[in-house]
Amino acid sequence: MREQLDFVDCQGLAGAWSLGTVATGAFKLVHRASLPGGFGDDVMELNRTFFGPQWAQEVGTAAEWTPQNGVAYMSGTPPCSGFSVMNQSKKENARGPESNINNCMKELIAYAGRCRGADGLPGPEVVSFESVQGAFNQGRVLMQWLRNDLEERTGEKYDLTHVKMSGSSVGAAQMRHRYYPVFHRVPFGAERPAPRRVVTYQEAIGDLVGLEITPDEQPYGDIMPSDWALRKVRTDGAVDWHAAIGEDDRLGELLIESAAEHGWRAGEGFTELMARLPEPPEALKRRFPSAMRDWPDLRGWNWPRRIHPGRPGFVITGSGATQFVHWSEPRLLTMRELTRLMGYPDDWEWPVTRLTHIGGYIGKCCPVDSGQWLSEQVARSLEDPTLGHAEKVDHEEIGPFEYLFDCTLDYRRWDRRVSGFIPSPEWGKTLRKEWNNGST
């Protein structure tokens, strides 16, 4: 059994990374610090059993958070919208290193500077947070500034390793290309992922096909879960919240009603389907009159995609409840399916009194498996400092005490045969026929 080190969750949103960190077996959560509003705090409290009783939750600013001693590792998920292409803000909140939104990253670093590491020295041995890859591509200068700020606050020297990765490369059920700046005052080295089975939609949620669409508990069906999904299913044989979130089921009905007769193909976006039609369906004209004015160039709304069972998952965002239509059932993905695709176990609960927030909770975190992979790299480096030196063979030195490790596209180089379920053309023809006849 590994000797557990203390870690602190700072702005960890709905707890996905913390759950992955605990899953390594190398860390125990001792504190959680959130900004005013406490986004995700109720989720963490509801699922406290996953993290043990030894941690406290605190809401405030970086100056108000209680400094922690003996912290080997601090991780967090501050808002990434300062670099997200979805950010259409202007002036002080516009995308880029100077965006006010990035103050959340600065608060995380400021708090780390007030804590002490497991070795008693100022600052945790390792500090990291998750963001979009634009935070490296356009924000490297900010990451350098954050490293300098941490050094000034602690009086200790920190190296900076930029980790670019994707969920599919490390075992998550989403491609989800992401970036982790790792600030470390001990040797750190990430191990390149070994070729693995790429998790597809079929492998992640295929065992839920055929279940009743209901928020109530029901037994799992007869479809055997994949090895990946088997790690997520409940041991009591029941599953709940296999249902759309809030009013999203009606939106799904509208989309299906308007598209089924035209053969919506698995893997095809809704705008691609609509572009084949001479005019928009009447149901959509009534529901989205302004968006229909640009027909067939649909704009102004995050239109969904009908997922392909044999492909890895697309990124789930805060509007994930309305982003994806199932490949074989005429509906949007359910809350349980979205939760599973982010890597949470089926006994992970959401505060159902706040249904409108659940999509944001699910989509604004990193996948559990991605967080577990990064935390495992940190754990191995802390447990054996020689590994941090040895594994830098795959790290490119891009500046003084600054490195880049990139495994984003590793999964694309692996043999397609390890990618699990790949439908045959005959399967696809049969599915389309059943879909068009309304029998699926």
1-30 tens-digit pLDDT:
678 999 999 999 989 999 999 999 999 999
What's CA 84's distance to the chain center, in Å? Answer: 14
Tens of pLDDT along 309-321?
Answer: 999 999 888 777 7
Buried b (16+ CB within 10 A) or exposed e, 356-388: ebbbbbbbbbbbbbbbbbbbbbbbbbbeeeebb
Q: Are residues 393 and 425 in the same domain?
A: no
Give the 3-state secondary structure of 38-79. Answer: CCCHHHHHHCHHHCCCCCEEEECCCCCCCCCCCEEEEEECCC
Question: How would residue 250 be classed by pLDDT, with cut points 50, 70 and 90?
Answer: low
Residues 323 and 254 in one domain: yes
pLDDT value of residue 392:
65
Looking at the structure, do residues 34 and 60 belong to the same domain, yes or no?
yes
- 3-class SS of residue 242: strand
**Residue 138: CB atoms within 10 Å:** 15
Least confident segment among 9-18, 357-366, 409-418? 409-418
Please state the rounded mean pLDDT for residues 182-189.
Answer: 96
* One domain, residues 393 and 428: no
Q: Please, which pLDDT band fits residue 194 given cuts at 50, 70 and 90?
A: confident
pLDDT the model gives residue 390: 59
Residue 87's nearest CA partner among 74, 77, 73, 101 is 101
Backbone φ, ψ for residue 214 (5° rounding): -160, 150
Average pLDDT score over residue span 168-173 = 95
Q: What is the pLDDT of residue 384?
A: 86
Check residue 10 and give its pLDDT. 96
Number of independent structural domains in the chain: 2
* Stronger pLDDT, 308 or 101, i.e. the higher one: 308
Same-domain pairing of 327 and 347: yes
Whether residue 418 is predicted with pLDDT greater than 50 in this model: the reply is: no
What CATH number does residue 72 fall under?
A: 3.40.50.150
pLDDT score at 417: 42
Of the pLDDT bands very low, low, confident and very high (cuts 50, 70, 90), residue 90 is: low
Over 70: is that where the pLDDT of 439 sits?
A: no
Q: Span 248-271, mean pLDDT?
A: 76
Q: What is the sign, positive or negative, of the torsion defined by CA atoms of 395, 127, 44, 246?
A: negative
Q: Would you state the structure tokens that stand for residue 256, as one six-digit string? A: 């299906």
pLDDT at residue 241, as a whole number:
92
Adjacent-strand bridge partners of 325: 306, 332
Claim to verify: residue 371 and residue 282 sit in the same structural domain: no
pLDDT at 234: 96
Lowest-pLDDT range of 17-31, 157-171, 260-274, 401-415: 260-274
Mean pLDDT of 361-380: 92
- The reported pLDDT for the residue numbered 365 is 82
Residue 160 pLDDT? 98
pLDDT averaged over the chain? 85
For the domain that residue 325 is a member of, what is the CATH number?
Answer: 3.90.120
Q: What is the pLDDT of residues 282-295, one digit of tens each?
A: 777 887 787 777 77
Strands 177-184 and 126-129: antiparallel
Mean pLDDT of 68-73: 98
Concatenating the DSSP letter of every residue in 196-239 gives -PPPPHHHHHGGGTT---BSS-EE--SSPPPHHHHTTS-TTSEE
Question: Are 358 and 372 in a shared domain?
Answer: no
Q: Are residues 402 and 377 in the same domain?
A: yes
Mean pLDDT throughout 414-429? Answer: 46
Q: What is the mean pLDDT of residues 25-37?
A: 95
The maximal CA–CA distance of the chain, rounded, in angstroms, is 69
Same domain membership, residue 339 and residue 259: yes
Q: What does the CA dihedral 16, 175, 81, 46 come to, rounded to 10 degrees?
A: -20
Looking at the fold, whether 80 and 229 belong to one and the same domain comes out as no
Of the candidates 314, 332, 309, which has an alpha carbon nearest to the alpha carbon of residue 428? 309
Angle between helices 368-383 and 16-23 (to 10 degrees): 50
**pLDDT per residue over 325-343, tens digit each?**
899 888 889 999 999 999 9
Rounded Cα distance, 217 and 16, in Å: 23
Domain assignment of residue 101, given as a range: 5-196+367-413
| pLDDT at 426 exceeding the cut of 50 | no
For the entire predicted model, the pTM comes to 0.89
Higher pLDDT, 390 or 270: 270
For tokens 């697309």, the residue is: 314
pLDDT, position 260:
72
Amino acid, single-letter form, for residue 134: G
Whether residue 212 is found in the same domain as residue 190:
no
| Two tokens, residue 354 | 């706040």
pLDDT digit string, tens, across residues 96-149: 567 788 899 999 999 999 999 999 999 999 999 999 999 999 999 999 999 999
Gap between the Cα atoms of 34 and 60, Å rounded: 6
What is the Cα–Cα distance from 414 to 104, expressed in whole angstroms?
Answer: 37
Q: Which helix (H) or strand (E) holds 382?
A: helix 368-383
State the average pLDDT over residues 213-231: 94
Same domain, 168 and 225: no
CA distances (Å), origin 111, targets 5, 56, 219, 355: 19, 16, 45, 32
User: pLDDT at position 84, please?
Assistant: 63
